[in-house]
Amino acid sequence: MIKELTINTSEGEYDLSASVRLIGQDILVAIWGGEKPHIGAVAMAQPRPSLKDPEITSSTASVFSYVGHKEDELAKATAEILAAALKTKVVVTAGIHWDNLPEEGIQRVIQNSEILVEMILEKIVNELNS
């Protein structure tokens, strides 16, 4: 079983990358992109029964962000999605930066982050099922 993999979007602009590391049953994900990749936020999530329907697995997360960084939403959403879907603890770091990013660029980064999360989930599920 592969313990570590790298995933990249290939949408043509504002692409993102992720390194995924399986640590026992837990998952560590680093997401980066842009001209100045870094660590801007860290989220940790764990699965739990949904408050609306205990038969459904949801998740809860805690987030830390460095001052002035806006990656908290990306890190939190990614950690929660993966924790709920995979029913395990997940830690996500995120740091992306493009200088003078226009509004349409921001929207493209958001779309690419959603694509990246889907790719991560698919790769992990395929890996765990092989």
CB 94 within 8 A of CB 105: no
Topology (CATH) of 4-115:
Ribosomal Protein S5; domain 2 (3.30.230)
Q: For residue 43, is pLDDT > 90?
A: yes
Lowest mean pLDDT among 9-13, 27-31, 44-48, 111-115: 9-13
Q: What is the mean pLDDT of residues 100-121?
A: 95
Residue ranges per structural domain of the chain = 4-115
Averaged pLDDT score across all residues of the chain: 94
Q: What is the mean pLDDT of residues 114-130?
A: 89
pLDDT at 126: 85
Q: For residue 45, is pLDDT > 70?
A: yes
pLDDT at 2: 62
CB 118 within 8 A of CB 21: no
Give the 3-state secondary structure of the chain.
CCCEEEEECCCCCCCEEEEEEEECCEEEEEEEEECCCCCCEEEEEEEEECCCCCCCEEEEEEEEECCCCCCHHHHHHHHHHHHHHHCCCEEEEEEEECCCCCHHHHHHHHHHHHHHHHHHHHHHHHHHCC
Q: Quote the percentage of the chain above a pLDDT of 90.
A: 88
Question: Do strands 26-34 and 4-8 pair parallel, antiparallel, or not at all (unpaired)?
Answer: unpaired
Q: For residue 111, is pLDDT > 70?
A: yes
CA distances from 71 to 3, 44, 115 (A): 25, 13, 16
